[in-house]
Amino acid sequence: MSADHDAEQDAEREASAPPPPRRSAAGGVFAAIKETVLVVAVALVVSLVVKTFLLQAFFIPSQSMEETLDIGDRVIVSKLTPGPFDLHRGDVVVFSDPGNWLSQTAPPERGPVGTVVAEALTFIGLLPEDSDDHLIKRVIGLPGDHVVCCDASGQITVNDEPVDETSYLAQGAAPSLDPFDVTVPEGQLWVMGDNRDESADSRYNRESQPYHGFVPVDLVVGRAYAVVWPVSHWDWLGTPSAFDQVSGAPGAS
Q: Which residues are catalytic?
A: 64, 137
Residues 6+ away with beta carbon under 8 Å from 187: 143, 216, 217, 218
Whether the CA torsion 73, 79, 82, 88 is positive or negative: it is: negative
Distance, first Cα to last Cα, the chain? 86
Confirm if 108 and 232 have CB atoms less than 8 A apart: no
Assign residue 152 a region (left: φ > 0; alpha: ψ between -120 and 50; beta: otherwise): alpha
Residues 6+ away with beta carbon under 8 Å from 199: 64, 65, 137, 192, 193
Dihedral, 70, 76, 79, 83 alpha carbons, nearest 10? -70
DSSP 113-167: HHHHHHHHHHHHTSSPBP-SSEEEEEEEE-TT-EEEE--TTS--EETTEE---TT
